[in-house]
Every structure is written in C-alpha cells, then in structure tokens.
Amino acid sequence: MSDRTTGRGGAPNPAGGLDPGLVARIEAHRGDVDLRLEITATPGLPVALVGPNGAGKSTTLAVLAGAHPLDAGRIALGGRVLAGDGVDLPPERRGIGLVFQDYVLFGHLTVRDNIGFAERVKRGRPAGRAAAEPWLERFGLTALADRLPAELSGGQAQRVALARALAAEPRLLLLDEPMAALDVEVRAEVRTELGELLRGLPIPTVIVTHSRADVEALGDEVIVVEAGEATQRGSVAELRAHPATPYVTRLFATPPE
Amino acid sequence: MPAPSDPSDPADGELAGSVTVLAAASLTEVFDDLAASFEAEHPGVDVVVSVGGSGALAEQILAGAPADVFAAANETAMATVAEAGLAPEATVFATNTLELVVPAGNPGGVAGLADLGRPELAIALCDETVPCGAASVELLALAGVTAAPDTLETDVKAVLTKVLLGEADAGLVYRTDVRAADAAVVGIEIAEASQVVNRYPIAALAEAPNPDAAQAFVAFVLSAAGRAALAEAGFGVP
Amino acid sequence: MSRNRASQQRARRALPAVVLAGAGLALALLILPLVALVVRAPWDRVAEIVGGDVVGPALALSLGTAALSTVVSLALGVPLAVVLARSHAWPVVPRRLLRAAVTIPLVLPPVVGGIALLLLLGRRGVIGAWLAEVGIGIPYTTGAVVIAQVFVAMPFLVFAVEGALLSADRRTELAAATLGASRAQVFRLVTLPLVGPGVAAGAVLCFARALGEFGATITFAGSLPGVTRTLPIASYLALQSDPDAAIVLALVLLAVALAVILALRDRWMPGVRA
C-alpha cells in the first residue's frame, strides 16, 4: 500500500524507472464464458486483446477493473496485488482507468466536471474543476468545457472519456472497443492519434477490439482470445505471418476499412 | 328473443325487464329485502338497488342517470328532483328518528346526549350537509347540547362503521341503522328524538326507462307488505 | 451525433392510423370530463365560494398534508425502490412477495385501505391499542391524514423510481468507481442525478395522488374542518348540499394540481432542454 502514492504527483506524468506493469493470471466465468488467461503489459507497448464476440474479452476487462470477481489467479499492478492471494480490492481502490465502448460519460455533468470527477471525489468540486483545465487543453476540449455529453460528437466524447480516465492518474488504462462508436469517416484519424497517445503514456494499456485495423494500429503486442483462452500471442507481423487458428487467418483476410 | 319489456312475455303477463331503484344509504337493508319480495311476486323483473347519499343520488338523477325509482332520506333531496320536473308524484313512505349508538360494552360510559360534549370521548356525527347531520344538529339544539365531534362523516353508515370498529365512543345514527347492525353496537334511545323526524319520500321518476315496473315497485313499497317490512326494520310508517 | 439523428428520423415517421385513433380517444376520455367541469362551472359564484369558509382551510390542509406525504414517501420510498430494483436478482418467491406488497395499495379500494389502517393503528388496532395505552391516538388527527395519503400514494413514487433505477446504465456507477469514488459518492454524485428525473416524476405523481386522496383518508382519519377535512372530502360533502360549490372545489383542486405539476417539471428537470 505504501507505494500507492509514490511518484503520483499532480502532473499527468507519474512513475519513472522500471515498472513491472500488469501481471495477471485470470480465472473467471461469466455466462457461457470460462476465462483462463494470462496477460502482461508494460508502459509504451499497448496490448490488444482480439477475438470473436463472446470470447471473454470484455469479461477480462471487467475482472481487471474489479467489476467481476476473480475465481482464481492473481492480478498485480506495479508490484502491488489487486486481486488474488486473499486480496480483492474494489474498483475505486485499483487505480485502473476504464474507457467504455460508448464512453459512458456522466450525462448530467459538463465536460469539465466529467474530466474533473476523479479530483472532485478526493478534494471537492472546485479542485476538480481546476484539475480539469490542463486535460481540457491537452485534449483540445477547452472550447467544449461547458457542454453536456449529449452535445458532443463521437470523437469529442471519446476524447472526454480518455481525459476523464487519465485525469485520475491510473496505473493501467483499459479501453473497450475504442473505435466502435465512431463514425467510419473519422476512425482512421482518431486511431492514429490514439496510438500516439497510448504509446506515450507512462502506464500500461490494454485494448479490447475485434477489428483488424485497431489491432494493426494499436496492438504492439497482440493476444488472440477464443472461447476464454489465449490461442496465439505475438506481434502483428508474427500473427500475420503465422496465423495459429482459422480466426486469425480470417482476421487478416478482412479488408482494412 | 323477446325484448325485456315485451308485454306478451309469457312468464309474466304484466311486468318484465329491470327496474333501477336509487335509495338513500339508510334504506340499504330494507330495500334489499323489499327488492327480493318484489322479484318473487314478479319473476320477470330484476330489481337493481343502488344506494348512496340522498344528495348525491339526486345529482345523478338530474344528470340523466337511467333510474326508475328514487327513495330519499329527506324531502330536500326529493324537492330538487321534483323542481326539475323529474319526480311528479312523491309520497312519504317512512319516517326515521335518531338514536345514540355506542360500541358493545359502551366503553365510554355514554348515557345520554350530553355525553356527546365530553371532549375526551371520540365522537362521530354526520356532517350537517347530509340529512342525518341536519337532523343531528336540530336534535342537539333542541336538547341544548354542544357536541365535541372528532369527525363529521359524509353519511350515516360511515358513522356507524366508526362505532362498530370501536374507533368512536358514540355517534348519532338512525334507529334503523342500530337495528340493522345487531349486537355489535348498542342503541340508546333519546327522549327528544321523537321531535326530530326524518321523512322518506319515494317517487317513480318521470323519465323512467321502465315506467310500469317503476309504478309497481312504488306501489309495493306503499302496500301493507311493504309497510310491514319497513316497520320490522325500525322505520316509522305514516 | 448519430443517436440524435436516429431519434429525429423516428419522430418524423408517421404513426399508424390505429395508434393515432386510440391515442385520440384516450386523450378525449382523460380531458373531456375536465372540460365539462370547466364549461359547467358556475363562474358567477366562483369568487363567493372560493372566498367562503370551506375552501381556505380545506385547501391549506390538502396542500400541507400532500406536501408532507410526498416528503415522507421520498424518505421511505426511494430506499424501498432501490431494494425493489435489486430484487430482480432474488429468488422468485420473495421477489414476487415484495412486488405484491408495493402493488397492493394501488389495486385496493382506498376505503378498504382506510379500514386496514384503522385495524392496525386505530384505538383497538393491532398497534393502535398499544399506542392508546400510552395516550397516543392516531385516528382523527392530521397525522392520520398523512399516513393514509402515504399508504395510497407512495407506491406511485416507488415504481417511478424503480423504473428509473432499472433503466439507468449501471456502468455509469462502475465508471465513477474506477475514478476513485466511494460507494456513498457514487450514489450521491452519479446514481441520484441519474435517477433524479424519475424521482421527480414519482414525487409529482405521489403529490398529485395524495392531493386527490379521499377514501382512505375519510375512513381512517375522519372529516373535521381544519383538522382532517381535505379538499376532496369537502368537495364530496358539498355535492350533497350545494353541487355548484362541489364543482368549484373540484376546479380549485384541479388548478392546484396542474400548477404543482408544471412548476415541479421546470424546476426539477434541468436535464430536459428546449
């Protein structure tokens, strides 16, 4: 617990040195899915979980975030155990940022208050608003600061969701199908920007997707998940060259958008 | 299939169909009996008794309710219907007087009208805008008693219910209500009550859908058999 | 903004004639009686009747008790709605029992509800007899009016709030938790605002139902001017002697209910933007 605050100042640029990142061995079940999966992730190298619908990708994110129980295994982040070994931290104590597929912004709060939410629950509303400023600027949202989420385009909402999650200074960022809710015309551009952002973050990131374009643009390491288990791991190039399952073959046979 | 009022109906040479009787709440039990007797005499007729506050019933008639007979608990209610030309021939068929009513066992130790002024007792009276309430006000004035009611109910049955449930220590209701309620409540006769008499008029309505049956029912209520049933229920019979 | 575009397209598409006809008839059934009330109102006597000694105390009592009933229903009904919304995960029997308990006052004739309250809280009631021992009498008091109104009106609030809770996106709560919010903070900062419109709608329904409450009130609380005689009871009594006055009292009730519904809508629903 003592390491929780070290290196986590006010700036969006924490930790330095060697971060063991995410080290997780997950056994869980939800609905028809029996999940048995090992994931490791380090800063600067986004991990893409790719697989067909119902393979357990979203369940993996839920288990990591603490929204779904771990049956067996262990989740450690930066050397600290979040779950397993008799530990089961609730979501609010895991320090994991989560960006939902459709963003799930707080509809009753302005862009500024959405982004300042994490600071607000610690130090009150004025502090939250002040803390939101640098993030508004960094994500080009200053002009939209007083809008409600319903008044944003898909791309704008995604930037708010990212800023909101990063403003909490998480030690791990999870993204669930980050491109799915965007209009097709803007996806390519947003995807490129997102890739740059994620690779520049000082924390590990895990992206769930079923799109070839996402995998190629965002996945420095790829884990193929089918029926709850990893069927192949490697770089995009390795997967493309030696697809281990029919699913992987099909994935790289689909035309890019 | 013959129409309900077909005079050639072989089952009943004279009357058929249904006859709707709007009756004051205090007539509930006796009119149920009268309706059954009337139906026994005229097997082709179905008597529907609808009870309520006399004023509310009068309003229904003025608003065009398809009723055949109106039996009110006071002459004011009948007068409003008669003024509209809807009750051409009203006849007083019964009278009623008030009685003190207390729960079985008389927990409040009520002996007479004067006890209605005791503030520690729970007292239920009719509101003065309904017939039993108007009579109560008159009776209390006559006896020189200032009552301390805890509730002024919308009809006499509501007063009786409060006493039946033991939620009121005493109330003023018609003696017929005490008779109908049997052993659950006890009636206490009041000397002055005979001077405050409620008169019940009945009339076949001008716009009765079934005028023949309406006339027959009114005649039945006024007949010896009808009078006997009313007297049995505790009504005065003029 | 693809979601907005879709809803605009939905709105532009014409509805089938049978739906429009049904909706028109339904609206006529709801509105025409009130129109008749307005048309037939004795407008020349309105000032006299409203200024009389019946309307004032009855109106004040009705507004006060209905407001208090709404506050009590909020305090007790919102937690009950939260439990009810969670009960969907329960075994069948307790889940249905709980739902039935909340539904019963909606289907029970209010007069029967009033009798039931008397049997519980009356002087000879299951709890009331014990209260009477220590000198507490509930029937015939303004408190009894509030209890009767809560009994009858609270289920409206409970179901409205439960509906809002069920349709609220639970992931919003998870999003707040991942941002470090404690359970209490999640409830206060996210859940409540999320269901706020539902709570407001439920409170308005509850207030309106309490304002119009008649049967349970007169049975359980009685009818004494200034203490327990609410506007609906005064209106019913007026019908016995002065139908004009009854119509005017009904109009007053209608005007108050409309005013409150409109006022609360603007005030409590900032999320609804023109």
Question: Chain C closest CA to B148's CA: distance in Å?
Answer: 11
C-alpha to C-alpha distance for B204 and B226, rounded to whole angstroms: 16
Segment A41-65 mean pLDDT: 93
Residue A187 lies in a domain: yes
Note every long-range contact of B62-67, with CB atoms under 8 Å and residues 24 or more positions apart, other chains counting.
B62/B86, B64/B207, B65/B22, B66/B20, B66/B209, B67/B20, B67/B21, B67/B22, B67/B205, B67/B208
Contact C140, B151 (CB under 8 A): yes
Number of domains comprising chain C: 1
Residue A136 lies in a domain: no
Q: Which of C115, C240, C249 to mutate to test the interface with B (most CBs of B within 10 A)?
A: C240
Residue A6 lies in a domain: no
Going C125 to C128 to C130 to C134, the CA torsion angle's sign is negative
CATH classification (class only), B17-95+199-232: alpha beta
Residue C28 lies in a domain: no
Residue C135 lies in a domain: yes
pLDDT band at C258 (very low <50, low <70, confident <90, very high): confident
- Touching check for B17 and chain C: CB below 8 Å? no
pLDDT band at A142 (very low <50, low <70, confident <90, very high): very high
Q: What is the pLDDT of residue A241?
A: 93
pLDDT of residue C139 exceeding 80: yes
Number of domains comprising chain A: 1
User: Each residue of A175-185: pLDDT tens digit?
Assistant: 999 988 888 88
- Please list, in sequence order, all residues whose beta carbon lies within 8 angstroms of the beta carbon of residue A201, skipping any fewer than 6 positions away: A43, A44, A166, A173
Q: What is the pLDDT of residue C267?
A: 53
pLDDT of residue A5 exceeding 90: no
Domain hosting C130: range is 52-268
What is the pLDDT of chain C when averaged over all its residues?
Answer: 87
- Asked if A121 lies within 8 A of C175 by C-beta distance, the reply is no
Q: What is the pLDDT of residue C194?
A: 85
Residue C204 lies in a domain: yes
Q: What is the pLDDT of residue B15?
A: 81
- Asked if C171 lies within 8 A of A90 by C-beta distance, the reply is no
Q: What is the pLDDT of residue A14?
A: 44
Residue C138 lies in a domain: yes
Q: What is the pLDDT of residue A2?
A: 39
- Asked if B129 lies within 8 A of C237 by C-beta distance, the reply is yes
pLDDT band at A133 (very low <50, low <70, confident <90, very high): very high
Chain A positions with Cβ closer than 8 Å to C? 65-67, 90-92, 94, 96-98, 100, 104-109, 117-118, 120-122, 150, 153-154, 164-165, 168, 170, 183
Residue A206 lies in a domain: yes
CATH fold for domain B98-195:
D-Maltodextrin-Binding Protein; domain 2 (3.40.190)
pLDDT of residue C56 exceeding 90: no
User: Structural domain boundaries of chain B?
Assistant: 17-95+199-232, 98-195
pLDDT band at C273 (very low <50, low <70, confident <90, very high): very low
Partners of C185 on chain A (C-beta within 8 Å) are: 121
Beta strands in B63-222 (DSSP E): 69-71, 91-96, 98-103, 123-126, 151-153, 170-174, 185-188, 198-204
pLDDT of residue B20 exceeding 60: yes
Q: What is the CATH number of the domain that holds C100?
A: 1.10.3720.10
Count the neighbouring beta carbons within 10 Å of the beta carbon of residue C52. Answer: 13
- Residue C204 has what DSSP assignment? H
- Residue C44 has what DSSP assignment? G
Domain hosting A189: range is 18-105+171-253
User: Each residue of C144-196: pLDDT tens digit?
Assistant: 999 999 999 999 999 999 998 888 888 899 999 999 999 999 988 998 888 88
pLDDT of residue B3 exceeding 50: no
- Asked if C181 lies within 8 A of A121 by C-beta distance, the reply is yes
- Residue C190 has what DSSP assignment? I
Block residue for tokens 């008397």? C118
Alpha helical stretches, state H, C87-123: 92-107, 110-121
What is the pLDDT of chain A when averaged over all its residues?
Answer: 89
- Asked if C2 lies within 8 A of A154 by C-beta distance, the reply is yes
- Asked if B158 lies within 8 A of C219 by C-beta distance, the reply is yes
Beta bridge partners of A94: none
User: Each residue of B109-166: pLDDT tens digit?
Assistant: 999 999 999 999 999 999 998 888 999 999 999 999 999 999 999 888 889 989 998 8
Interface of B with C in 49-78 (CB under 8 A): 53-56, 59
C-alpha to C-alpha distance for C265 and C267, rounded to whole angstroms: 6
Q: What is the pLDDT of residue C7?
A: 52
pLDDT of residue B11 exceeding 80: no
Q: What is the pLDDT of residue C270?
A: 45
pLDDT band at C266 (very low <50, low <70, confident <90, very high): low
Count the neighbouring beta carbons within 10 Å of the beta carbon of residue C225. Answer: 16
Segment A5-17 mean pLDDT: 39
pLDDT of residue A13 exceeding 80: no
Residue A126 lies in a domain: no
Residue C22 lies in a domain: no
Q: What is the CATH number of the domain that holds A96?
A: 3.40.50.300
- Asked if C241 lies within 8 A of B154 by C-beta distance, the reply is no
Q: Which of A108, A109, A177 to mutate to test the interface with C (most CBs of C within 10 A)?
A: A108
pLDDT band at B9 (very low <50, low <70, confident <90, very high): very low
Asked whether C and B share 3 or more beta-carbon pairs under 8 angstroms, the answer is yes
